Amino acid sequence: MMAQAGVGRRAAVFGASGGIGAALVAALAARDDIGAVVALSRRPRAVPAGKVIPMACDVGDEASVAVAAQALGPVDLALVATGALTLPGGAGPEKTWRSLDPAVMAESFRINAIGPALVAKHVLPLLPRDRPSLFAVLSARVGSIADNRLGGWHSYRAAKAALNMLARNFAIELARTHPLAVCVALHPGTVDTGLSAPFQHGVAPDRLFAPAQAAEHLLRVCDSLAPADSGGFFAWDGQPIPF
């Protein structure tokens, strides 16, 4: 889809200071069909003059998202690369229901589902109506209910499942006004970042991706998507994942 659109399009990456987010910014900036990349994070980094435009945005604060969206203006491609598996304070994914803590659950939902939903609320209206566009959120395969064979990780799984449902809901609503747009959830695989570092044991070397590899995979999937795919959940290799 992306490769068929025109030159000079505007992209936005939320969570641009993270491992995958930063790699997506770099990969998009290297593309000839992208004219500008707005890199949004809580503490934006200064960058040399070029395609990348740093901008402050805290996806957990709706006022911050609204201000950023107003400054962002029309955008052809928006990627939300935020999320957390181990939460502030060191709370990791639960292995049993006996470990459930309401505060930890609420924080996981705030970071992994509510934040991206707030971005969608304010950014989906910025997509063009007369040409292809894409809005994608980074989810995780463990958020698939149908694919769940191991259990555990209750808060994270549930928050990502909620995010997948939100992406489907947004796609249905978006199609009414933006028939050429695509809204999807994407699973990047296991990426060698701080988020996955404590959980990489047992991951095959060819299934542990560097952030730059993950960004390449994700953008390749984005290139392949069409409006008929909107509302779907896709893995890094382009394969659909059941909800």
Q: Is 235 exposed, middle or buried (0-12, 13-18, 19+ CB in 10 A)?
A: middle
128 is a domain residue: yes
241 is a domain residue: no
CATH number of residue 85's parent domain: 3.40.50.720
For each of the chain's 243 residues, which pLDDT tens digit applies? 443 444 589 999 999 999 999 999 999 999 999 999 999 999 998 777 689 999 999 999 999 999 999 999 999 999 999 999 988 787 889 999 999 999 999 999 999 999 999 999 999 999 999 999 999 999 999 999 999 999 999 999 999 999 999 999 999 999 999 999 999 999 999 998 766 556 656 666 677 899 999 999 999 999 999 999 999 999 999 999 999
Q: Taking Cα atoms as reference points, which of 78, 77, 65, 81 lies closest to residue 23?
A: 81
139 is a domain residue: yes
240 is a domain residue: no
Number of compact structural domains in the chain = 1
- Asked whether the beta carbons of 44 and 12 are under 8 A apart, the reply is no
243 is a domain residue: no
Give the DSSP letter of residue 243. -
Range of the domain at 107: 2-235
Vertex 238, ends 38 and 165: CA angle to 5°? Answer: 70
Q: What is the pLDDT of residue 71?
A: 97
Neighbour count for residue 203 (Cβ, 10 Å):
14
242 is a domain residue: no
Within 59-198, where are the H helices?
A: 62-72, 102-109, 115-123, 154-177
42 is a domain residue: yes
Q: What is the pLDDT of residue 7?
A: 58
